[in-house]
Amino acid sequence: MAQGLEIKGARTLLTGASGGIGGALARRLAQEGAELILTGRRKDLLDSLASELGAEAIVSDLALAQAPEQLLAASGRVDILIANAVLPASGRLATVDPARIDAAIAVNLRAPIALARGVITQMSERNSGHIVFIGSLQSKAATGGASIYCATKFGLRGFSLALRAELARTAVGVSLVLPGFVADAGMYADAGVKLPRGVGTRRPDQVAAAVVRAIRDDVGEIEVAPLALRAGAAIASLAPELSARGMRLLGGERIARDFERAQSNKL
Protein backbone atom coordinates (compact mmCIF):
# COMPACT_ATOMS: atom_id res chain seq x y z
CA MET A 1 0.00 0.00 0.00
CA ALA A 2 1.11 3.57 -0.68
CA GLN A 3 2.75 5.21 2.33
CA GLY A 4 3.30 8.71 0.98
CA LEU A 5 6.12 9.81 -1.28
CA GLU A 6 9.22 11.96 -0.88
CA ILE A 7 8.93 14.92 -3.25
CA LYS A 8 12.61 15.86 -3.29
CA GLY A 9 14.17 14.52 -6.47
CA ALA A 10 10.89 13.14 -7.82
CA ARG A 11 10.18 13.81 -11.50
CA THR A 12 6.89 15.69 -11.27
CA LEU A 13 4.63 16.36 -14.25
CA LEU A 14 2.37 19.36 -13.63
CA THR A 15 -0.35 20.17 -16.16
CA GLY A 16 -1.94 23.60 -16.39
CA ALA A 17 1.30 25.20 -15.23
CA SER A 18 0.85 28.31 -17.39
CA GLY A 19 -2.45 29.42 -15.90
CA GLY A 20 -4.60 29.66 -12.78
CA ILE A 21 -2.93 28.26 -9.69
CA GLY A 22 -0.28 26.48 -11.75
CA GLY A 23 2.42 28.98 -10.85
CA ALA A 24 1.84 28.57 -7.12
CA LEU A 25 1.90 24.79 -7.43
CA ALA A 26 5.12 24.87 -9.47
CA ARG A 27 6.92 27.21 -7.08
CA ARG A 28 5.97 25.21 -3.98
CA LEU A 29 7.00 21.93 -5.61
CA ALA A 30 10.31 23.51 -6.64
CA GLN A 31 10.86 24.57 -3.02
CA GLU A 32 10.27 20.95 -2.02
CA GLY A 33 13.00 19.85 -4.42
CA ALA A 34 10.87 18.29 -7.14
CA GLU A 35 12.36 17.78 -10.60
CA LEU A 36 9.65 19.64 -12.50
CA ILE A 37 8.17 19.03 -15.92
CA LEU A 38 5.79 21.91 -16.60
CA THR A 39 3.16 21.79 -19.31
CA GLY A 40 0.50 24.18 -20.55
CA ARG A 41 -0.77 25.92 -23.67
CA ARG A 42 0.80 29.38 -23.29
CA LYS A 43 4.41 29.06 -24.37
CA ASP A 44 5.54 32.50 -23.20
CA LEU A 45 4.27 32.05 -19.64
CA LEU A 46 5.40 28.43 -19.53
CA ASP A 47 8.93 29.22 -20.69
CA SER A 48 9.21 32.10 -18.21
CA LEU A 49 8.14 29.93 -15.28
CA ALA A 50 10.38 27.06 -16.35
CA SER A 51 13.36 29.42 -16.63
CA GLU A 52 12.65 30.84 -13.16
CA LEU A 53 12.48 27.38 -11.57
CA GLY A 54 15.02 25.49 -13.66
CA ALA A 55 12.30 23.18 -14.93
CA GLU A 56 11.54 21.42 -18.19
CA ALA A 57 8.75 22.93 -20.30
CA ILE A 58 6.51 21.09 -22.76
CA VAL A 59 3.82 23.02 -24.61
CA SER A 60 0.70 20.87 -24.86
CA ASP A 61 -3.00 21.47 -25.53
CA LEU A 62 -4.82 18.72 -23.65
CA ALA A 63 -8.02 19.42 -25.55
CA LEU A 64 -6.45 17.51 -28.46
CA ALA A 65 -7.11 13.77 -28.47
CA GLN A 66 -3.50 12.64 -28.86
CA ALA A 67 -2.03 15.23 -26.48
CA PRO A 68 -1.90 13.08 -23.30
CA GLU A 69 -0.06 10.25 -25.06
CA GLN A 70 2.37 12.67 -26.73
CA LEU A 71 2.97 14.51 -23.46
CA LEU A 72 3.85 11.32 -21.60
CA ALA A 73 6.17 10.21 -24.39
CA ALA A 74 8.01 13.54 -24.16
CA SER A 75 8.14 13.46 -20.35
CA GLY A 76 9.81 10.10 -19.84
CA ARG A 77 9.81 8.90 -16.25
CA VAL A 78 7.07 10.41 -14.09
CA ASP A 79 7.16 9.84 -10.33
CA ILE A 80 4.39 12.29 -9.51
CA LEU A 81 1.54 13.39 -11.78
CA ILE A 82 -0.44 16.49 -10.85
CA ALA A 83 -3.44 16.95 -13.15
CA ASN A 84 -4.26 20.63 -12.71
CA ALA A 85 -5.30 21.86 -16.19
CA VAL A 86 -8.90 23.07 -16.38
CA LEU A 87 -11.39 24.86 -18.62
CA PRO A 88 -14.54 26.48 -17.18
CA ALA A 89 -17.09 26.07 -20.03
CA SER A 90 -19.31 28.30 -17.93
CA GLY A 91 -22.80 29.35 -18.89
CA ARG A 92 -26.27 27.91 -19.15
CA LEU A 93 -26.29 24.74 -21.21
CA ALA A 94 -28.41 26.20 -24.00
CA THR A 95 -25.89 28.98 -24.56
CA VAL A 96 -22.65 26.99 -24.38
CA ASP A 97 -21.07 26.32 -27.75
CA PRO A 98 -20.63 22.58 -28.43
CA ALA A 99 -16.92 23.14 -29.14
CA ARG A 100 -16.47 24.53 -25.61
CA ILE A 101 -18.32 21.54 -24.16
CA ASP A 102 -16.04 19.12 -26.00
CA ALA A 103 -12.90 21.02 -24.97
CA ALA A 104 -13.91 21.15 -21.28
CA ILE A 105 -14.68 17.43 -21.15
CA ALA A 106 -11.38 16.67 -22.88
CA VAL A 107 -9.21 18.86 -20.62
CA ASN A 108 -11.04 18.46 -17.30
CA LEU A 109 -11.88 14.75 -17.45
CA ARG A 110 -10.55 12.78 -20.40
CA ALA A 111 -6.96 14.07 -20.16
CA PRO A 112 -6.56 13.31 -16.43
CA ILE A 113 -7.90 9.80 -17.01
CA ALA A 114 -5.59 9.24 -19.99
CA LEU A 115 -2.55 10.62 -18.16
CA ALA A 116 -3.26 8.52 -15.09
CA ARG A 117 -3.65 5.41 -17.21
CA GLY A 118 -0.36 6.21 -18.92
CA VAL A 119 1.69 6.56 -15.73
CA ILE A 120 0.19 3.72 -13.68
CA THR A 121 2.19 1.00 -15.42
CA GLN A 122 5.58 2.64 -14.95
CA MET A 123 4.77 3.62 -11.36
CA SER A 124 3.65 0.08 -10.54
CA GLU A 125 6.81 -1.38 -12.05
CA ARG A 126 8.94 0.90 -9.84
CA ASN A 127 6.62 0.21 -6.87
CA SER A 128 6.41 3.95 -6.26
CA GLY A 129 4.42 6.94 -7.46
CA HIS A 130 1.64 9.39 -6.72
CA ILE A 131 -1.17 10.96 -8.73
CA VAL A 132 -2.91 14.15 -7.62
CA PHE A 133 -6.06 15.43 -9.28
CA ILE A 134 -6.98 19.09 -8.74
CA GLY A 135 -10.75 19.04 -8.54
CA SER A 136 -13.20 21.53 -7.12
CA LEU A 137 -15.59 21.84 -4.20
CA GLN A 138 -18.20 22.04 -6.98
CA SER A 139 -17.75 18.30 -7.37
CA LYS A 140 -19.92 18.10 -4.24
CA ALA A 141 -22.16 21.13 -4.67
CA ALA A 142 -23.55 21.73 -8.15
CA THR A 143 -24.40 25.29 -9.17
CA GLY A 144 -26.60 26.65 -11.93
CA GLY A 145 -24.74 28.17 -14.84
CA ALA A 146 -21.88 25.70 -14.43
CA SER A 147 -23.45 22.43 -15.57
CA ILE A 148 -20.58 21.36 -17.84
CA TYR A 149 -17.89 22.31 -15.35
CA CYS A 150 -19.73 20.53 -12.53
CA ALA A 151 -20.22 17.45 -14.71
CA THR A 152 -16.48 17.19 -15.35
CA LYS A 153 -15.57 17.78 -11.71
CA PHE A 154 -18.17 15.32 -10.39
CA GLY A 155 -16.74 12.82 -12.88
CA LEU A 156 -13.16 13.54 -11.84
CA ARG A 157 -14.00 13.02 -8.17
CA GLY A 158 -15.69 9.71 -8.90
CA PHE A 159 -12.75 8.59 -11.01
CA SER A 160 -10.21 9.61 -8.37
CA LEU A 161 -11.98 7.81 -5.53
CA ALA A 162 -12.48 4.68 -7.63
CA LEU A 163 -8.87 4.69 -8.85
CA ARG A 164 -7.59 5.05 -5.28
CA ALA A 165 -9.63 1.99 -4.30
CA GLU A 166 -8.36 0.15 -7.37
CA LEU A 167 -4.73 0.84 -6.44
CA ALA A 168 -5.17 0.43 -2.68
CA ARG A 169 -2.97 -2.68 -2.54
CA THR A 170 -0.17 -1.09 -4.55
CA ALA A 171 2.48 1.50 -3.77
CA VAL A 172 0.85 4.06 -6.09
CA GLY A 173 -1.03 6.77 -4.23
CA VAL A 174 -4.02 8.73 -5.55
CA SER A 175 -5.24 12.02 -4.08
CA LEU A 176 -7.92 14.58 -4.88
CA VAL A 177 -7.54 18.22 -3.83
CA LEU A 178 -10.78 20.22 -3.83
CA PRO A 179 -10.39 24.02 -3.71
CA GLY A 180 -13.34 26.29 -3.11
CA PHE A 181 -13.07 29.93 -4.16
CA VAL A 182 -9.41 30.87 -4.61
CA ALA A 183 -8.24 34.48 -4.34
CA ASP A 184 -5.61 36.01 -6.62
CA ALA A 185 -5.52 33.15 -9.16
CA GLY A 186 -7.82 30.67 -10.84
CA MET A 187 -11.12 30.93 -12.63
CA TYR A 188 -13.06 33.11 -10.20
CA ALA A 189 -10.15 35.48 -9.63
CA ASP A 190 -9.64 35.80 -13.41
CA ALA A 191 -13.33 36.55 -13.88
CA GLY A 192 -13.38 39.23 -11.19
CA VAL A 193 -16.57 37.81 -9.71
CA LYS A 194 -17.72 39.51 -6.50
CA LEU A 195 -18.63 36.95 -3.89
CA PRO A 196 -21.41 37.48 -1.32
CA ARG A 197 -20.37 38.92 2.02
CA GLY A 198 -19.13 36.23 4.34
CA VAL A 199 -18.12 33.79 1.60
CA GLY A 200 -14.47 33.12 2.32
CA THR A 201 -11.62 32.27 -0.02
CA ARG A 202 -8.30 30.49 0.14
CA ARG A 203 -4.96 31.50 -1.41
CA PRO A 204 -3.10 29.63 -4.18
CA ASP A 205 -0.27 28.81 -1.76
CA GLN A 206 -2.79 27.05 0.49
CA VAL A 207 -3.85 24.86 -2.42
CA ALA A 208 -0.18 24.13 -3.09
CA ALA A 209 0.34 23.21 0.57
CA ALA A 210 -2.58 20.78 0.36
CA VAL A 211 -1.00 19.13 -2.69
CA VAL A 212 2.27 18.65 -0.81
CA ARG A 213 0.44 17.13 2.18
CA ALA A 214 -1.58 14.84 -0.09
CA ILE A 215 1.61 13.44 -1.61
CA ARG A 216 3.66 13.15 1.58
CA ASP A 217 0.89 11.64 3.72
CA ASP A 218 -1.04 9.83 0.97
CA VAL A 219 -4.29 11.63 1.80
CA GLY A 220 -7.19 10.55 -0.38
CA GLU A 221 -9.14 13.83 -0.41
CA ILE A 222 -8.43 17.32 0.91
CA GLU A 223 -10.85 20.25 0.79
CA VAL A 224 -9.22 23.69 0.60
CA ALA A 225 -11.98 26.06 1.71
CA PRO A 226 -13.32 27.80 4.82
CA LEU A 227 -15.44 25.73 7.21
CA ALA A 228 -18.71 27.32 6.06
CA LEU A 229 -18.11 26.33 2.43
CA ARG A 230 -17.02 22.83 3.40
CA ALA A 231 -20.15 22.43 5.52
CA GLY A 232 -22.27 23.72 2.63
CA ALA A 233 -20.71 21.19 0.28
CA ALA A 234 -21.45 18.39 2.75
CA ILE A 235 -25.08 19.49 2.99
CA ALA A 236 -25.28 19.69 -0.81
CA SER A 237 -24.15 16.07 -1.05
CA LEU A 238 -26.90 14.95 1.32
CA ALA A 239 -29.69 17.37 0.40
CA PRO A 240 -29.07 18.91 -3.03
CA GLU A 241 -32.49 20.59 -3.35
CA LEU A 242 -32.19 22.27 0.04
CA SER A 243 -28.67 23.39 -0.86
CA ALA A 244 -29.82 24.79 -4.21
CA ARG A 245 -32.49 26.92 -2.54
CA GLY A 246 -29.95 28.21 -0.06
CA MET A 247 -27.51 29.11 -2.83
CA ARG A 248 -30.22 31.06 -4.67
CA LEU A 249 -30.93 33.03 -1.50
CA LEU A 250 -27.21 33.80 -1.15
CA GLY A 251 -26.97 35.16 -4.70
CA GLY A 252 -25.79 32.07 -6.52
CA GLU A 253 -27.66 32.99 -9.70
CA ARG A 254 -26.01 36.42 -9.79
CA ILE A 255 -22.56 34.86 -9.37
CA ALA A 256 -23.30 32.40 -12.17
CA ARG A 257 -24.38 35.22 -14.51
CA ASP A 258 -21.29 37.30 -13.70
CA PHE A 259 -19.02 34.33 -14.24
CA GLU A 260 -20.72 33.46 -17.51
CA ARG A 261 -20.22 36.97 -18.85
CA ALA A 262 -16.56 37.01 -17.85
CA GLN A 263 -15.71 33.53 -19.17
CA SER A 264 -18.14 33.11 -22.10
CA ASN A 265 -15.45 33.12 -24.78
CA LYS A 266 -12.70 31.29 -22.90
CA LEU A 267 -11.44 28.06 -24.44
Instruction: Please tell me whether residue 180 adopts helix, strand or coil conformation.
Output: coil
In angstroms, the CA 221 to CA 164 distance is: 10
Q: How many of the other CB atoms lie within 10 Å of CB of 190? A: 15
Instruction: Please tell me whether residue 192 adopts helix, strand or coil conformation.
Output: coil
CA dihedral 197, 229, 7, 189 (to 10 degrees): -30
Q: Which of 26, 36, 149, 222 is catalytic?
A: 149
Phi/psi of residue 119, nearest 5 degrees: -95, -15
110 neighbors 64 (Cβ within 8 angstroms): no
Residue 132 pairs with which residues in a beta bridge?
82, 175
What number of CA atoms fall less than 13 Å from residue 164's CA on the CB side? 20
Give the closest residue to 81 by CA, choosing from 127, 28, 117: 117
- The verdict on whether 188 is a catalytic residue reads no
Task: Cite the active site residues.
Answer: 149
